[in-house]
A and B are shown apart, each in its own frame.
Chain A
Amino acid sequence: MANVKPRVKVPKSANAGEVITIKTLISHPMESGQRRDKEGNLIPRQIINSFKCEFNGTPVFSCDIEPAVSSNPYFEFKARVPESGEFKFTWVDDDGSVYEETKKIEVK
């Protein structure tokens, strides 16, 4: 899908070992597969079915997503920052598309 845009909010810097808050949002209709069009046909399901966040390659947080998650899925979670590095965020669509975003963080 063309108009899918991930947005992530990560602080630019943190103290070593600090636990930070990460907020993520990705614009996506999250078609549940329950709705019908005007002719009464089911609109096929198309959702983002998984999300994960890694820090320098180590898994931090991930989520299995079902159609009951709202459109433009939003996640807020915590992460411990042991060193400077890069957070990598990955969303996987039902159609196989993978959306990625990275954010650097520096330890003071």
Chain B
Amino acid sequence: MELNRRQIMALAAGSAAFAATTSLSFPVLAANDAQDIINAFTGGAEAGEGALTLDAPEIAENGNTVPIEVTVDSPMSEDDYVEAVLIVADGNPNASVATFHFTPMSGEALASTRIRLAKTQDVIAVAKMSNGTFAMDRKTVKVTIGGCGG
């Protein structure tokens, strides 16, 4: 098959875009110990996706107060509930943000709060279920004014 110049350019652009998206979805160069904290929380177990939803704004004008909300799809009964949800931010001076602890008395595994983000970064939520499985979600939040007194 012979390619003309136009097709080659299109191919090159396509592969560049592909490389960009893959590098975005695997940010290996985390600035702090976010991954260690997650590993300590899960005990190295694989975290699935889907059950947990992390809601955060795409762009936060003020990093001093960024509203976030976590919701976990769970019946919250005595034998099947969400024990805890860990929140970490991978670009803050300290990765830990908060850990929510739920009980069957919670009725629904939903919690929201406001957090500080020093710069544009990923916020990651990991949920620990009572049956020992984990679920994870992450959102990139663009921060225009950092929230660490800078």
Which of A58, A61, A70, A74 lies in contact with B101, CB distance below 8 A? Answer: A61
Interface: B53 (CB within 8 A)? no
- Counting from the closest, the 3 A-B pairs by CB-CB distance are A35-B149, A19-B107, A80-B107
Per-residue CB proximity of B39-73 to A under 8 Å, as 1/0?
00000000000000000000000001110010000
Chain A residues whose C-beta falls within 8 Å of the C-beta of B105 in the assembled complex: 55, 58-61, 79-80
CB contacts (< 8 Å) of B89 on chain A: these are: 68
Tell me which residues from 99 to 150 in chain B have a Cβ below 8 Å from any Cβ of chain A: 99-117, 147-149
Chain A residues with CB under 8 A of B94: 66-68
| Contacting residues, chain A, for B102 (C-beta < 8 A) | 61
On whether A32 and B116 interact (CB within 8 A), knowing A60-B103, A61-B106, the answer reads yes
Q: Enumerate chain A interface residues (CB-CB to B < 8 A).
A: 19-20, 32, 34-36, 55, 58-71, 73-80
Q: Which secondary structure dominates where chain A touches chain B?
A: strand
Question: Which residues on B sit within 8 Å (CB–CB) of A58?
Answer: 103, 105
Q: B96 within 8 Å of A by Cβ? A: yes
Q: Given A58-B105, A60-B103, A79-B106: A74 and B114 within 8 A (CB)?
A: yes
Assess whether B108 is in contact with A78, with CB atoms less than 8 Å apart.
yes
Q: How far is the CA of A25 from the CA of B76 in the complex (A)?
A: 25
* Residues of chain B from 8 to 66 with CB closer than 8 A to chain A in the complex: 64-66
- Contact between B64 and A63, CB atoms less than 8 A apart: no
Identity of the chain A residue whose Cβ is nearest the Cβ of B93 in the assembled complex: A34
Please give, as numbers and ranges, the residues of chain B lying within 8 Å of A78 by CB-CB distance. 106-110
Question: CB distance A63 to B101 under 8 Å?
Answer: yes
What residues of chain A lie closer than 8 Å to B147, measured between beta carbons? 70
